[in-house]
Structure 1
Amino acid sequence: MKHLKNPLVWIVVVLIVISVIGYKVMQKTYKQQEAIRYQEAEKVLTLKQYNLYGVVFIPPATLWAVGSDGTLLNSIDEGETWTEQKIGSPEDVFSSISFPDSMHGWIVGKTGKILKTEDGGKNWACVKKGENIYYTKVFFLDLEHGWIVGESGTLLLTTDGGKNWDSIETEKLMTAFNDVRFVDQNKGWIVGERDMFTGNGLIMVSTDGGRTWQDQVSGTDKSLISVYPFNADKVWVGGLGGTIFVSADGGNNWEKRDLKYQEKVIDNHIYRIFEQKSGLRGDRNAIYALCRSGQHFSTDSGNSWRGMMMKLETDELLKRGWLYDIVFHPHNEHVGWAVGKWGIVLKSVDAEKWIRMQ
């Protein structure tokens, strides 16, 4: 009790109480500030109610992007500013876009529509509508040769610039095709959902322009979402559960790559796999994997991976969302764009740091 009568003791007690209260107040204030900062960042980045699923670049400076709610975006200054227009209804989900040149473009989507422009995007016309067909991807190699894939084993091809579309029988009526790419007028690949008959993630190759197809053994039972042939021999595929495979012989043999970041294996679904020439480190190419809740790249052929660099606010938001597509300038390998959830558009001028533009 004698100690309690000592004024120094009371001073110490009061100081301790003030310190504890002050710490709790500061902690609460910090959390509130962090919440406000995050909310403001979220408000800026989630103003758009649509997602963007496809993007293309047409030299010297034009970009087009498509997404949900019938959305079409256009930029004529390398992605610095964007013009938004609605060319479909709120039910229209445009999943893919392809421009073989600056004037001719194609869009496909969920409602079975095939849209075409012949005046550089000023006007779009619906040239075909498939009943209850979800077209997942359109790819034009040049003005004449194009392919469209979709659910229920749907494959369309044209060799006359879309005047006529041939429906190709693939005997895959129970499988959805997710992506199609050709390296020339003859050789191309399709990837898709897990084949119920073979049990493998679907990979098919054609050597006659898409008229006939042969299955390739993928070595995985996971559905595949993206294919990217860097050339006629080197081919990448990506899919569910962080699945990545690469072939060095045109798909006859496939090697698995683990998507690992800081020694942790990432099993998030991969929506886009892409190899960019001359990449980030000297002459080594960069491999990009856009997946759910993370965006990664590799400069050693997929043996190790790093996260794409971006501002904290953007990175935090994309951990709850994802990017769907990526494209690079054909004449400047360091300049690229990526699009994704909430209408987000990212741009890089050094192929390493990514800045939000939309």
Structure 2
Amino acid sequence: MKTLRIAALAAGVLLAMSPLVPAQAVGQHGVKYTWDLKPTGSTAQFRGLAAVNKDVAWVAGSAGQVLRTLDGGRHWQNVSPPGQALLFRDVEAFDAQHAVVLAIGLGEDSRIFRTADGGKHWAETFRNAEPTGFYDCLDFNNSRDGLALSDPVNGKFQIAATSDGGKSWKVQSGKGMPAALPGEFAFAASGTCLVAGAGRTAWFATGGGAVPRVFRTVNGGRTWKVSDSPMASGEAAGIFSLSFRNQVHGVAVGGDFGTTGDAVKAASYTTDGGRSWKLVPADKAPKKYRSGSAFVPWSAATFVAVGPTGSDVSLDGGRSWTQFDDGYFDSVECAGHGYKAGCWGSGKDGRVARLSVGR
């Protein structure tokens, strides 16, 4: 069933792309949020997205394609690993030269590659050896420590960890992992089903089971605790994306991509580090399924969420959301500090944009 769900996501047949008709969201002091499209010349679907700052970003997607920009999206370089027709779903970049990409799929189709020279050369540093394993996403606490998440193997989610920036990976013991629910899995939709925080903290989110859940670790993935979520779950529903602005404040977004894309109990927020979650009321939540989310780093409590039918912004830490665009995006990522900070979105047909904030 997992492969069928992923195939449907990759083909984009379940949700139609709506026309781009910006509907600006106005924030504090009249600040407006819009997307500034940055043509890539590609037709790939880019669910993998890594923002380094407002100038540097990486995208990874279908047909083994990886692109990089160094000038804010004016030009894109094809830096794909040679000879790979894999389905890339996540990319994490530390700067313009160092990046790690994740290919998804059952068994050996789940692989990780690393570059240290801007994509001129790539090394395969991990290949899944479990026939039933399926890696969905990865993230890093810093330039050395990172985790990658697989759907359950023998009844438990599986974690691979690195402490050398992705040069090598070690599958962690399942002793510290709570048992998975029947039918529970993670969504390889935007590279944000697992997110890492300061120190050795990380969270990952699930769906497919009786309830969606959020797992959290404070010791680099050796042990995990899990909390139920008030959001909806189902065969194609649950939490698709997590985003945290610090160790205690975060948001979760999702929905059901398998029916109409309507968002029913599809957004929540936490103020205690993911130990508990509060449901966003339907009249304040995104109206459609959302696959990605990110904290806007130059703000106090602003998050952006994206999906095939549009983008929403929350100015109050995820308690309420306003749609500001209805173009197609799968992923959103923000990074950088001060005047170098930037937010990027990516999606199908080579679609990439940078968030524009004006008055």
Fold similarity call, TM over 0.5: yes
Paired residues of 1:70 and 1:92 also in contact (CA < 8 A): yes
Between the aligned partners of 1:157 and 1:114, the Cα distance in structure 2 is: 12
Comparing both structures, which one devotes a greater share of its residues to helix?
1
2:195 paired residue number: 181
Between the aligned partners of 1:150 and 1:88, the Cα distance in structure 2 is: 25
Alignment pair present for 1:194 and 2:208: yes
Paired residues of 1:71 and 1:88 also in contact (CA < 8 A): no
SS in 1 for 2:349: helix
Alpha-carbon distance, 1:254 to partner: 1.4
2:312 to 288, 296, 299: 296
Alignment pair present for 1:79 and 2:95: no
Letter in 2 for 1:149: L
Letter in 2 for 1:105: A
Alpha-carbon distance, 1:91 to partner: 4.2
Taking a change above 3 Å as real, the CA distance of residues 302 and 57 of structure 1, as seen in their structure-2 partners, is: closer
Paired residues of 1:136 and 1:149 also in contact (CA < 8 A): yes
How large is the RMSD of aligned CA atoms in angstroms? Answer: 2.9
2:127 paired residue number: 129
Deviation readout 1:191-247 (Å, 9 max, x if unpaired): 12233xxx2202111121110111112123422111112111112111224311111
Between the aligned partners of 1:53 and 1:232, the Cα distance in structure 2 is: 25
Deviation readout 1:34-66 (Å, 9 max, x if unpaired): xxx99xxxxx98974310112223358322111
Alignment pair present for 1:253 and 2:279: no
Letter in 2 for 1:300: D
Letter in 2 for 1:175: E
Paired residues of 1:145 and 1:185 also in contact (CA < 8 A): no
Between the aligned partners of 2:324 and 2:72, the Cα distance in structure 1 is: 20
1:113 paired residue number: 111
Rg (Cα) greater in structure: 1
Alpha-carbon distance, 1:143 to partner: 2.4
SS in 2 for 1:148: strand
2:16 paired residue number: none
With CA pairs under 8 Å and 6+ residues apart, which has the higher RCO, 1 or 2?
A: 2
Between the aligned partners of 2:70 and 2:95, the Cα distance in structure 1 is: 15
2:289 paired residue number: 269
Q: Which runs of 5+ in 2 are unaligned?
A: 1-18, 21-37, 188-192, 257-262
1:239 paired residue number: 254
SS in 1 for 2:121: coil
Matches within 5 A, 1:327-346: 327-332=334-339, 335-346=342-353
Paired residues of 2:48 and 2:331 also in contact (CA < 8 A): yes
Paired residues of 1:101 and 1:143 also in contact (CA < 8 A): no
Deviation readout 1:105-156 (Å, 9 max, x if unpaired): 1100222111011223221111222255432212122222011113232311
TM score, norm. by length of structure 2: 0.72
Between the aligned partners of 1:56 and 1:45, the Cα distance in structure 2 is: 17
1:50 paired residue number: 44
SS in 1 for 2:142: coil
Q: How many residues align?
A: 292
Taking a change above 3 Å as real, the CA distance of residues 45 and 98 of structure 1, as seen in their structure-2 partners, is: closer
Taking a change above 3 Å as real, the CA distance of residues 337 and 221 of structure 1, as seen in their structure-2 partners, is: closer
Deviation readout 1:238-296 (Å, 9 max, x if unpaired): 122431111111122211114657xxx654222112221344xxxx5322111231111
Between the aligned partners of 2:82 and 2:128, the Cα distance in structure 1 is: 15
Letter in 1 for 2:222: R
Between the aligned partners of 1:130 and 1:140, the Cα distance in structure 2 is: 19
Between the aligned partners of 1:97 and 1:128, the Cα distance in structure 2 is: 14
Comparing both structures, which one devotes a greater share of its residues to strand?
1
Between the aligned partners of 1:259 and 1:50, the Cα distance in structure 2 is: 33
Between the aligned partners of 1:101 and 1:239, the Cα distance in structure 2 is: 29
Between the aligned partners of 2:69 and 2:39, the Cα distance in structure 1 is: 18
Alpha-carbon distance, 1:70 to partner: 0.7
SS in 2 for 1:332: helix
Letter in 2 for 1:165: W
Alignment pair present for 1:158 and 2:162: yes
Q: Which moved more, 1:84-93 or 1:144-153?
A: 84-93
2:322 to 302, 306, 319: 306
2:9 paired residue number: none
1:348 to 341, 346, 355: 355
Paired residues of 1:324 and 1:340 also in contact (CA < 8 A): yes
Q: Which runs of 5+ in 1 are unaligned?
A: 1-36, 39-43, 310-314, 354-358
SS in 2 for 1:177: coil
Paired residues of 1:46 and 1:342 also in contact (CA < 8 A): no
Paired residues of 1:55 and 1:339 also in contact (CA < 8 A): yes
SS in 2 for 1:122: coil
TM score, norm. by length of structure 1: 0.72
Q: Which moved more, 1:132-141 or 1:239-248?
A: 132-141
Letter in 1 for 2:303: I
